[in-house]
Amino acid sequence: MKKNEDSHSDPAWNLAELLERVDNDQELLRDLLNIFKEDFPLTMRSLESAVAAEDLKEAARLAHTLKGMLSSLGGVRTAAAAARLEVIASAGETASLKGALQALKCEAASLLPELEAYMAEVRH
């Protein structure tokens, strides 16, 4: 399973892969989504502060954490955006940092509504 860095053919959210990972356990899936809903905005906020302060080390660490939770959840494109930010921060490319953060926020903006919609759906 090979993926291009910029593969726009990837869905924002790969629900099928996630369902396979949780063995179709809806309760576990809800659990994960709830954890994500709580942890993601907090980590994003810290990342924004780190980028604003040009704290590269902290930005790389937070981007790594985001990458982990996003890829576990099947948020493929957003995870890729977090990964790019991690690489940029680790390489010390301060100039590209803000753009990378913007790209990450952009991807998140298309992922979050999908998750919300799914949660609303399974609740009923």
Partner 1 sequence: MKILIADDDALSRRLLEKTLERAGYEVTAVENGKQALEQLQKLEAPRLALLDWVMPELDGPGVCRAVRKRSEQTYVYMVLLTSKGTKEETVLGLESGADDYLTKPFNAEELRARLRVGERILLLEDRLVEARENMRFRATHDPLTSLLNRGAIMDLLTRELHRSHREKKSTTILLGDVDHFKRVNDTYGHVVGDEVLIETANRLLGSVRSYDFVGRYGGEEFLVVLNSCDPAFAPARAEAIRKSISNGPIQTAKGSLSLTMSLGALMSSDWGLRPVEELLHEVDTALYKAKASGRDCLRMAQPIARTEPVTAPLLQPLRLQH
Q: Answer yes or no: are the C-beta atoms of 81 and 104 closer than 8 Å.
A: yes
- Of 32 and 97, nearer to partner 1 (C-beta) is 32
Chosen residue from 4, 8, 9, 23 binding partner 1 by CB under 8 A = 23
Closest CA to 69 of 116, 96, 108: 108
| Contact stretch for partner 1 (CB under 8 A) within 29-37, 50-58, 92-100, 107-115 | 29-37
Is residue 105 near partner 1 by the rule CB under 8 A? no
Question: Do residues 36 and 111 lie in contact, with contact meaning Cβ atoms separated by under 8 Å?
Answer: no
Backbone angles phi, psi at 92, to 5 degrees: 75, 25
Measured from the CB atom, is 25 or 116 closer to partner 1?
A: 25
DSSP element (H, E) containing 101: helix 94-123
- Is 30 near partner 1 (CB under 8 A)? no
| Single-letter amino acid, residue 84 | R
Region near partner 1 per CB under 8 A, out of 2-10, 21-29, 50-58, 91-99: 21-29
Q: Smallest gap, in angstroms, from Cβ of residue 68 to partner 1?
A: 5
Distances (CA, A) of 45 to 16, 25, 26, 59: 29, 30, 29, 11
Q: Which residues would be at the binding site for partner 1 (CB under 8 A)?
A: 20-23, 25, 28, 31-32, 35-36, 39, 61, 64-65, 67-69, 71-74, 83
